[in-house]
Amino acid sequence: MEVHHPHHPTHKKKWSEYIIEFLMLFAAVTLGFFAENIREHQIVLHQTESVIAQLYHELQKDTANLHKIGLVHKKQDTATIVLENYILNTDLEANKVNFFLFT
């Protein structure tokens, strides 16, 4: 079993040891800061790509829905035109039964 002895209290550090410790701590903190910024940047890029893809799919759905709504309105407009022509070109009093059948 190993016995660890505390450092000698009379041992004094040289200035070079303080400088080396400072440089090591400075490098560790600086590199940690850079690593964290790089990681956050990658997360933001991933979230941006995800939001763009989601927006693209929603726009595709909205475009398809607008196209369907346009077709429905076109059919309704056509039905309205046919009904208008029928009303304008026929005698409604004489053709009451046909009028109520088509409307």
Q: Has residue 95 been placed in a domain?
A: yes
Q: Which amino acid is at 63?
A: T
**Number of domains into which the chain is organized:** 1
Indicate whether 3 pLDDT > 80: no
Indicate whether 15 pLDDT > 70: yes
Q: Has residue 33 been placed in a domain?
A: yes
- In angstroms, the CA 56 to CA 50 distance is 10
**pTM for the whole structure:** 0.51
Q: Give the residue with greater pLDDT, 3 vs 1.
A: 3
Q: Has residue 23 been placed in a domain?
A: yes
- In angstroms, the CA 35 to CA 29 distance is 10
Q: Has residue 47 been placed in a domain?
A: yes
pLDDT digits (tens, 9 = 90+) for 44-60: 999 999 999 999 999 99
Q: Has residue 32 been placed in a domain?
A: yes
Q: Has residue 67 been placed in a domain?
A: yes
Question: Domain limits at 60?
Answer: 15-102
State the average pLDDT over residues 87-98: 68
Q: Has residue 41 been placed in a domain?
A: yes
Beta carbons of 86 and 102 less than 8 angstroms apart: yes
